[in-house]
Amino acid sequence: FPTRRSSDLNRREFAATIGAAAVLFPGAVRATGGLEGGRTGSQSLVRVLLASGNGIAQPRQLDAWHFAWNGATYRGGFAIVPLDGKSGLIAALPLDSYLYGVVSREISSGWPLAARQAQALLARNYVAARLRPDKPYDGVGGVSNQRFGAVETETVEARAAVDATSGQFVTYRGE
């Protein structure tokens, strides 16, 4: 993947670069109290601010889907962009790939599968509601938004929960 140093980042450019594709699984979300399960027809691209400041270590693209930075491996592509007089390192990756790194850090792999799937659904809803195409990034990979970790922090159990709920959202009265 080519790297970019531009303030003119947008979701379409990242989508074309990364080639995010939707993977839909059969099944419906079961919920109560007026909550409804829903699906999307495509995967959104999430842009995560990993670091900001002066002197950010240069990431290195490993292959078409991974890059290395600060001793860790991340999914997706990256860009270093100007942010308020500083630099910002932005990772861009498909929604479910992002969720692998979130669910693994937000819920224990020892919890029941249903709990991990609920966490995946809620995390998906949270980030989808915060996609900001008019900004250089959608969220910060830390406790101020969602705890997002590198590939090394992902668990098999979290990936299974994300995959089992891929494309699904929880809605209330159709919204």
Percentage of the chain surpassing pLDDT 70? Answer: 75
Give the pLDDT confidence score for residue 173 in this predicted structure: 80
Percentage of the chain surpassing pLDDT 90? Answer: 63
Residue 86 above 80 pLDDT?
A: yes
Instruction: Specify the residue for token string 């969220």.
Output: 139
Closest C-alpha among 153, 31, 164, 17 to residue 78:
17
Cα 1 to chain centroid distance, Å, stands at 18
Cα dihedral 66, 68, 74, 80 sign? negative
Higher pLDDT, 15 or 116: 116
Residue 31 above 90 pLDDT?
A: no
Q: Is 145 exposed, middle or buried (0-12, 13-18, 19+ CB in 10 A)?
A: middle
Give the pLDDT confidence score for residue 142 in this predicted structure: 80
pLDDT confidence band for 43 (50 / 70 / 90): low
Give the pLDDT confidence score for residue 174 in this predicted structure: 76
Residue 124 above 70 pLDDT?
A: yes
Higher pLDDT, 157 or 12: 157
Give the pLDDT confidence score for residue 19 in this predicted structure: 25
